[in-house]
Every structure is written in structure tokens, then in C-alpha cells.
Amino acid sequence: MPHASSLRDFSTDPKRLAVLSLLALLVGAASAVVAKLLLLLIGLITHLAYFGTLTGTLVQPDPHHLGPIAIAIPVLGGLAVGLIAKFATDKIRGHGIPEAIAAILEGDSIVQARVAFWKPIASAITIGTGGPFGAEGPIIMTGGAFGSLFAQYLHLSSLERRTLLVAGAAGGMSATFGAPIASVLIAVELLLFEWRPRSFVPVAVASFVAALLRVPLIGAQPPFVATGAHDASIALVPWAVAVGLAGGVVSMVMTKLVYLVEDGYDKLPLHWMWWPAIGGLVVGLGGWIVPAALGVGYPTIASMVNGQLALSLVVGIMLVKIPIWVASLSSGTSGGVLAPLLMIGAAVGTLCALAIPGHDGGLWAIVGMAALMGGTMRAPFMGTLFALETTHAWSLAPDVFAACVAATAFTVVFVPRSILTEKLARRGMHVAREYAVHPLELIDVAAVMRPADGERPTHAIGVRDKVREAANAMAERGVTAMAVLDERGEWVGTLSADALLDAWRLGMRGESERRRVRRLRAALPAIR
């Protein structure tokens, strides 16, 4: 047995943790600057395209200011993005988070320098010309690209590159929304693929540094602060669950529509370079009908959170925002999904408030936007903290979390893959979102290896043993995995408690007692 002093709860090298945290501080600072520059670029393009002025502040696009010719502005923006994707790098296509996941899982956390340069430019053109996206997706990808490039320059390991890539992504989101905790949680729930201090701590450092620098660069006020007090109580949780389920339904419809329309683009007799321009035409027509559906939409979301938006406009947003977002996102243009989810979710909550006692539209707009975000991204903790940090409606925490859990449960059951992982699955990449400690990390080597004197390992079963015997042995010894030995006493694999449960679920209920471990291993190839 190893001496107790050599055992640690976490496999973290304190020196490397300190070094990575220091590097993450620099990455977080750079991410805040990148976020500021991207927001300025979006504002500049919006002012030039719709108002003919040179100003960098974010403003709502107004096609009516120019007249019907403004319908062509998103088309020209889409054409510019298509040309960049064709002749510069096609890695700019998409909304950022799936591309970051792909870089982590397939690209060894390596992002090319040209992606870091062209991604924010293409995104700023898309959003500035009216694209119905938020800046957060591109900022996540751009911040992640900077973190990856920094790690590559320093010749860090693959794991350390991943940590700095995710630190940059979290820093970018934190600087954009002023939500440092939610930014860490999106990293944990979507990007890190582990829960270890070696990566979690540096990501948190980057996120909070970016949030601190946001104050002088962008401002201290989060974008959707709720100015009014809401009468929240635990008695509202059942209504919150109902709003969460409604958000889950909308999420399911939106996810399926995105990939249905994407399949439609694939059938067009045109090169994909032209698709963003086609999506831009839909955006231009929809924006002419409901201008509030264009652009990042942060002021519109804030108005719904504070119950200040007319009901007719909320309905218009629901009817227009979803189609133009689907048409544009499916075209392969560059833009984020978080802000559209927030706007549509807030509209869902506002409409649900009509049937809820009290009719507090602002309260249910907050719950709705959290539910749609948490359910669509399959990240309920991130969705909850994001809504609370950006609105400061802390009293709604139980209701917001209940809605996020309900929406997540609905989408997990009825939507096999999220809007993020479906894109990757179509490229042949399976992303497992369930994380657990490997069974072999929970037991000592001495318990499963054969001692020198030839005795049988303490936690072992033979290939001729019955499944029930294996289950009883696990229960009696308090272990979750056992070594499997052949007739000669040689190790041939590991049988886990999860594998036994899977066998039960695979229809072996009626005969599991008679099945031997050898047949169980044949039925479950995952047992090694």
C-alpha cells in the first residue's frame, strides 16, 4: 500500500498550476482587449452600413433609416463572409463553440493564427450588417485561438494548450457579459472535458481577470440588469418548470430546423461560398418587418427583462427572429448563438407570463432566457449563473435553476444531440458529455493484480463466474469494478458496475443470473 503522505485527492502539480495560472492571467487580459476590439468593430460596421457615420458604439440596426435598399445590406455582408471563407480560411464558418470543441478533441488544441485574425473580422461583418447573432461565440473562438497560439509559442503540452485555449474562451465571454462565474461554468460544462484543478483554476483566473478589465474597457454594468424588484418565492417553482419545458420544446424545434435547413443548403446547385448571401437575404427581409430582430439585440433583451417591450413586438420577435436566425446560421456564416437564444428565450418567458398568476413579464423573461440557453447548450449550471449575473436578479435563483433543469431534461430525452454536438456528429465526431472517474482510479492495483505467490486478486472474478456472483461480490466488497481472469488466472479485462447495469438495460433481465461473465463480455465490447 502507498504511504498516506503520497496520496492526493487531485493529480495536480502545484508548480505547473502556478505557472499556468500566471499565463492564464495574461490570456484573460488579452481576451478582454479582444472582446473590446470586436465590439468596437461591430459597432463601427453597423453605423457605417445603416447610418453612414463613423462611431464604434453598439447600436440597433434600423433598415427603415435607409429605406428598402437596406434589405441588401445583410446580403452584401453574407457575400463578404463567403469570400473570406473561400479565399482566406473556411475555419471561420460556424458560430464558434463547436469549432472550439473540435480544436480540443481533434486538433490537439491547436488553432491556426489566420483563424484568430479572420474570425473576428468575418463575425463583425456578419453582425454589423444585421446578422441576428451575438458577439460572444466569435469572441469565445477568438479568445480561445489567442490562448492556443500563446501556448504553442511557449511549446506547452497538449493538456496545457487546452487549458489556455479554454481560458481564452472563458475570458472572452466574461469580458463581453460581465459574468465571470458563468463563463467558468461554460468552460467546465462544454469545453474542458474534465473537472480537475489543473485546468479549472487557470480558467477561473482568466475569467475573473477579464471581468475586472471589462470595467475600464466596456463598463461595469452587465447588459441586461433588471431594474425592478421581482416577487420571487419557492411557490413559483412549478411555474418555472412549465416555462422550462416550454423552452425545451422551442429548443428542440430550433435545433431540428437548423440542420433541416442546412441539409437544404447542401442540395443547392451553388458553392457554399454563396450560402451566407442567401441567408442574408432572409435576414434582410425579416429585419425589414421587425428591425428589433437584427444584430446582437442586447437592448431588446434588456427591455424584455424589465417588462418594457410591447407584447406585439415580442410576438413579432418570436415569429421573425427564429426564421432569420435559422436561415443565417445554417448557411455557414460566422456568428454566435448565445444572444439569439437569450432573446428568443426571453420572448418565450414573456409570452408564458400571460398564463401565470401575477403576469410579471420581466420575471419570466429572465427565467425563459436562462431555460432556453441552459437547455439548448445542455449546461444548466451555466444557464442559471449567466441569467443571475447578467440581470442581478439573485432572488430568482431557485426558479431559474428549476427552469434550466427542466429544459435540459426535456432536450436530453427528446433531442439526442445538442445544437453544438450535432454539427460535430455530422463530421463523424462523437462527443460524450457524461464525465466520470475511471473505475480503475477508485481501487488499488494490489486489489486487482495477482500477487507473486499466485494467489487470486482480492477484487477479481473468473470468466466462468455468473453475473449474479459478480454483482454480489461488488456489493460485498464495496467496489465499482473488478478484474476478470481467464481459466489460467490471467487478466483479460475489467468488469464495472456500469457494465452490469448496461447488461440489465440491454434486455438480459430475465437470464442475467445464468449468464456467465464470458458471455457478458461478448455482449458488451466496451468492457476491456
Q: Which three cell numbers mark 410? A: 426535456
Q: How far apart are CA 384 and CA 75, in angstroms?
A: 36
Q: How far apart are CA 402 and CA 385, in angstroms?
A: 12
Is the per-residue pLDDT at 438 higher than 60? no
Q: Which residue has the cell 436561415?
A: 327
What residues are paired with 134 via a beta bridge? 336
CB 96 within 8 A of CB 122: no
| Percentage, residues of the chain above pLDDT 90 | 45
Confidence of residue 68 (pLDDT cuts 50, 70, 90): very high
Average pLDDT over residues 430-439: 64
What are the pLDDT digits (tens) for 49-59? 999 998 888 88
What residues are paired with 481 via a beta bridge? 496
Best mean pLDDT range from 109-113, 279-283, 466-470: 279-283
| Residue 447: C-alpha distances to residues 142, 432, 465 (Å) | 47, 29, 18
What are the pLDDT digits (tens) for 393-417? 998 999 999 999 999 999 999 988 8
Give the other-Cβ count within 10 Å of 466's Cβ.
17
pLDDT of residue 451: 55
Q: Which three cell numbers mark 198? A: 489543473
Confidence of residue 165 (pLDDT cuts 50, 70, 90): confident
Is the per-residue pLDDT at 46 higher than 70? yes
Is the per-residue pLDDT at 510 higher than 60? no
Average pLDDT over residues 205-219: 94
Is the per-residue pLDDT at 102 higher than 60? yes
CB 517 within 8 A of CB 497: no
Confidence of residue 440 (pLDDT cuts 50, 70, 90): low
Residue partners of 162: CB distance under 8 A and separation at least 6: 104, 109, 192, 199
Average pLDDT over residues 365-369: 95
For the chain, list the domains and their CATH numbers: 14-217 (1.10.3080.10), 234-425 (1.10.3080.10), 439-523 (3.10.580.10)
What residues are paired with 496 via a beta bridge? 481
| Helical axes 14-50 vs 72-87, angle rounded to 10° | 140
Q: Are strands 491-496 and 481-485 parallel, antiparallel or unpaired?
A: antiparallel
Q: Tell me the residue length of the chain.
A: 528
Give the other-Cβ count within 10 Å of 37's Cβ.
16
Q: How far apart are CA 79 and CA 273, in angstroms?
A: 8
Q: Which three cell numbers mark 435? A: 464525465
Average pLDDT over residues 470-487: 77
Q: How far apart are CA 328 and CA 134, in angstroms?
A: 13
pLDDT of residue 448: 54
Is the per-residue pLDDT at 234 higher than 60? yes
The sheet with strand 481-485 has its strands ordered as 460-462, 481-485, 491-496
pLDDT of residue 528: 38
pLDDT of residue 452: 53
Is the per-residue pLDDT at 131 higher than 60? yes
Q: Which residue has the cell 460572444?
A: 136
What residues are paired with 147 via a beta bridge? none
More confident residue, 411 or 429: 411
Across all residues in the chain, what is the average pLDDT? 83
